[in-house]
Amino acid sequence: MQISIAQDRIPTTSQKSEKSTNIASCTTTKETIKKNPNDKILDLFNSSIIKQTSYKGIELKGLLSEVKLMQRLYYLNNLDVCRYYELKEYDTDLKRKTFKNTSEGQLLTNELKAKKQEISKSKLYYIFPLSANKGWAKEYNLRTQTFDLSYIIDENQFIPVQGYINFPQLTIKCNPLIKQFKEKRYNPNTNRYSYLNTIKIPMSEKVALPIEENVDKLALVIEFKMQQMKYTTYQAAIFNIVTYCLLGVSTKIYVIDGKVNKIYFSL
């Protein structure tokens, strides 16, 4: 999130990869689930990852580590050379347009095009540790035969798109068997709205039981490809508060152990 004077608004509807790409650490502890040769492991080595570090915080890894922030990913996606490279002397639309047409501007634009193409072609992984849902429901629903995961999304991080699932700053088209239910909530202390979002993932009781037994050690992982970037704004005093959000299409979802990447479930 950043504070910014309003920009052109979209409607609200390669550094080296890190050596360790496990969710937490490759170090084995007594609490780590023991490896079994029959276990299936999700290989995240050299993968590009967006990891939810708290209900508001995210961390970018792999190809995305150079980008560092969702805001800069938005600039990269739009080939906004001056803002991506923080060329602050070009502080008006006219100055930015003029620079982009120079030989230096064209060189930097071509660099951004190559970065954008590489990211667009790559599989990305969104990792949501189940412990990051801050005490909301994460259990099997016997009536609907689904594993239900609830979490809060601030209104400014929520972009409603038909057929897509919402996460903080991400909106991803997932397998249609996964359903989403949302409840809009008002906080009188902050005078702000948020959504209590619940996703329902179909699975059997046999599969769900080990997930429940280890739930705070596990993570939801969504494999997807990036489509586009959007942003939302809301007014705070004289400023527009801007939040940048990614839209993508999922190819697979997993529930895995957070240390050894053992797969408990996939769809």
DSSP 3-state of 104 = helix
Instruction: Read off the pLDDT band of 8 (50, 70, 90).
Output: very low
Q: What is the pLDDT of residue 35?
A: 66
82 φ, ψ to 5°? Answer: -65, -40
- For 198-211, what is the mean pLDDT? 98
- Report the share of the chain in percent with pLDDT over 70: 86
Exposure string over 238-267, b if 16+ CB within 10 A, otherwise e: eebebbbbbbbebeebbbbbbbbbbebbee
Q: Which residue has the higher pLDDT, 148 or 1?
A: 148
Instruction: Read off the pLDDT band of 48 (50, 70, 90).
Output: very high
Q: What is the pLDDT of residue 55?
A: 64
- The per-residue DSSP string of 12-39 comes to ---PPPPS--SSS-S---TTSPPP-TT-
Q: What is the pLDDT of residue 237?
A: 74
- Kindly tell me if the per-residue pLDDT of 28 is higher than 50: no
- For 30-51, what is the mean pLDDT? 80
First-to-final CA distance of the chain: 32
Instruction: Read off the pLDDT band of 158 (50, 70, 90).
Output: very high
Q: What is the pLDDT of residue 133?
A: 84
- Kindly tell me if the per-residue pLDDT of 106 is higher than 60: yes
- Kindly tell me if the per-residue pLDDT of 14 is higher than 70: no
- For 181-206, what is the mean pLDDT? 94
Q: What is the pLDDT of residue 61?
A: 95
Cβ proximity of 171 and 159 under 8 Å: yes
- Kindly tell me if the per-residue pLDDT of 17 is higher than 50: no
Instruction: Read off the pLDDT band of 186 (50, 70, 90).
Output: very high
Instruction: Read off the pLDDT band of 34 (50, 70, 90).
Output: low
Contacts of 136 (CB under 8 A, 6+ apart): 150, 151, 152, 196
- Kindly tell me if the per-residue pLDDT of 207 is higher than 90: yes
DSSP 3-state of 219 = strand
The pTM score is 0.84
- Give 76-87 pLDDT, tens digit per residue: 999 999 999 999
Q: What is the pLDDT of residue 246?
A: 97
- For 116-130, what is the mean pLDDT? 96
Q: What is the pLDDT of residue 234?
A: 84
Q: What is the pLDDT of residue 25?
A: 42
- Kindly tell me if the per-residue pLDDT of 217 is higher than 70: yes
- How many residues make up the chain in this entry? 267
Cα 182 from chain centre: 18
Instruction: Read off the pLDDT band of 36 (50, 70, 90).
Output: confident
Average pLDDT of the chain? 88
Cα 201 from chain centre: 18
